[in-house]
Structure 1
Amino acid sequence: MRRKTLLYGLLCVLCVPFVFPTWWMATSSLKPVSEIFAFPPTPWPGRPTLEAYRQVFALQPFALQYWNSLYIALVVTVGTLAVSALAGYAFARIRFRGSNVLFVIVLTGLLIPSEVTIVPLFQLFHGWGLTDTHWPLVLVPVLGAPSVLATFIMRQFFLVLPHELEEAAAVDGLGRLATFRRIALPLARPALGAVAIFTFLHSWNLYLEPIVFLSSPEKFTLPQALTQFVDAYGGPMWNVQLAAASLTALPVLVVFVLAQKQFVEGLAHTGLKG
């Protein structure tokens, strides 16, 4: 009992550096600016106020920007799941000449920084007339590096599935696509959960692409919108920025808390077999 108590106490101490910044962000959003930088810092506002949250929606079309980030993240997540599940299953189960070489070529997409490709991508989408739209924010992640990592995770998961399941499906008369849809895909829920979480988080926190492709405030996503809360002199409005950041962090916390089990289980299967 004493050993368990010491272990829990140690874990509580170790989690302080991770929990305290979030706690400070949330509580400081309820303080006036003068109290935010008071010394010594207070763990809870003396006079909590929601004025900063009111200003968040008054100074910008924050609700619309929130919706932009939400629907883009959901579309990107669904698109990435579809592409990575099909590609991962194909690399794991369909053997053809040069499949391993092709897979290595696909993985090289992870080695190319997004900063290297952003200018060619901008020229491409500008030529198509898709700048200042949300199309680049959907197509680039679904067909880019996040989808490559997702494909790797799905391939590793499908590699460890017993071949007997597919052989039994073939005996029952199922084709390749039906076997994937009715047997392999339902068994891949842990891997799909892991892919869905990190894809949603990546899209939700995407910053470089929005500032390059978007110029209209009503089309901004949240990371870009957070930089716009400044006063007349260009200085940061700290309480307003912290309020907006607290609202921005909510979906991330909810998604991870609800799906953390699937996330851990999914990643546990990514390195079992090469």
Structure 2
Amino acid sequence: MRTERRRRPAVRVLFYVGMSLLAIPFVFPTWWMITSSFKPIGEIFSFPPTLWPQNPTVQPYIDAFTEQPFLLQYWNSMYIAVVVTLATMLFSAMAGYAFARIRFPGVNALFMVVLVGLLVPSEVTIVPLFQMFNQLGLVNTHWPILLVTTFGAPSVLATFIMRQYFVTLPVELEEAARIDGLGRAAIWWRIAMPLAKASLGAVAIFTFLHTWNLYLEPTVYLQSPELFTLPQALTRYTDAYGGQMWNVQLAAATMTAVPVLIVFILAQRQFVEGLAQTGLKG
């Protein structure tokens, strides 16, 4: 017994050392991005490369706001991500509850049709959708991004997650609610939704991250720099000769990635719990 107790701390130390080594390939790119954003552009390509800026400067962060309307583009990404996330949470919760708790003819077949949306790449539908929005006069506005993202593949996955959770709710909860005089809508809002906080949190996190990093749809639908979102704006930092302003681009990328990374780190436990409750763990 004493030998086993002595081995446990050693095994734990080896485990943490091994996990730390495995984390290096994932942490190093983020570290390099943040530190290089404080370097002059010549130092970024110095050899051997430096892990810490030798002559740190905040000029790339200033240039990120002066070269183009970065603050406005930040706001565009933020409000689009928030609106799409809230709308996806609402619609996926309603659809997931309907597929899980309401019995009607063809419910399983209809649910399979909805799941087919996960198999259709966005590149396949982008041309007909562009033609449709162009005829409606909505190109170079945020409406195509809001609508396509809200009702696209992420919404289908969110509906699947919510449906998988609502299936696990005990029938006795609904029966007791009906005895108390609650209707279907009241049961969904007052009983099912409060119990689905973890799943809603998971849906909110991955929907927000997906929308925040969206690139294809803004590139297709938006033309004015004032309407750009952050992923699209990051590609526009070029000098007078068309060369990439790498330090400015890295500064803008840092301001884009770090806040979302912090939110994900703080909320990752709720994200994992939400997926675990829906049977998607593993």
TM-score (norm 2): 0.95
1:61 to 63, 69, 79: 69
- Of residues 245, 255, 275 in structure 2, which corresponds to 1:267? 275
User: Residue 52 of structure 2: SS of its match in structure 1?
Assistant: coil
For residue 125 of structure 1, the aligned residue among 122, 133, 137 is: 133
- Which residue number corresponds to residue 79 of structure 1? 87
Cα offset, 1:41, TM superposition: 1.5
Q: Whole-Å Cα distance in 2 between the matches of residues 255 and 124 of structure 1?
A: 36
Q: Distance in 2 between matches of 1:240 and 1:219?
A: 20
Structure 1, unaligned stretches of length 5 or more?
Answer: none
Mind listing any 5+ residue stretches in structure 2 that lack a counterpart?
1-8
Matches of 1:128 and 1:39 in 2, distance apart?
Answer: 53
Contact 1:189 1:262 in 2 (8 A): no
| Distance (whole Å) between structure 2 residues aligned to residue 185 and residue 76 of structure 1 | 19
| Counterpart for residue 5 of structure 2 | none
Deviation at 1:251, TM superposition (A): 2.8
8 Å contact from structure 1 (residues 211, 224) kept in 2: yes
Partner of 2:14: 6
Specify the alignment match of 2:220 in structure 1.
212
Distance, in Å, in 2 between the alignment partners of 1:165 and 1:218 is 50
Residue 106 of structure 1 is matched in structure 2 by 114
Q: Distance in 2 between matches of 1:50 and 1:178?
A: 54
Counterpart of 1:255 in structure 2 is 263
1:165 aligns with 2:173: yes
Task: Write the deviation string for residues 11-50 of structure 1: whole angstroms up to 9, x where unpaired.
Answer: 1101000000000000000001111111222111112100
User: How far apart, CA to CA, are the structure 2 residues paired with 1:102 and 1:48?
Assistant: 58
Whole-Å separation in 2 of the counterparts to 1:3 and 1:170? 55
Measure how far apart 1:271 and its partner are: 2.4
- The residue type paired with residue 104 of structure 1 is M
1:150 to 158, 165, 185: 158
| Alignment RMSD (CA, Å) | 0.9
Partner of 2:201: 193
Post-superposition shift, 1:254?
A: 2.5
CA drift of 1:162 comes to 1.2
Task: Establish whether residue 44 from structure 1 lines up as the match of residue 41 from structure 2.
Answer: no
Partner in structure 2 of residue 246 of structure 1: 254
How high is the sequence identity, in percent, across the aligned residues? 68
Q: Offset of 1:255 from its aligned partner?
A: 2.2
What is the aligned counterpart of 2:183 among 152, 175, 188? Answer: 175
8 Å CA contact retained: 1:68, 1:220: yes
User: SS in structure 2 opposite 1:22?
Assistant: helix
Tell me if structure 2 keeps the 8 A contact 1:91–1:103.
yes
Q: What SS does the aligned partner of 2:181 have?
A: coil
Residues in 2 aligned to 1:41 and 1:183: alpha-carbon distance in whole angstroms: 57
Confirm or deny: 8 A CA contact 1:27 1:45 kept in the other structure: yes
SS at match of 1:227: helix
1:233 paired with 2:229, answer: no
Q: Distance in 1 between matches of 2:23 and 2:175?
A: 48
What is the aligned partner in structure 1 of residue 39 from structure 2? 31
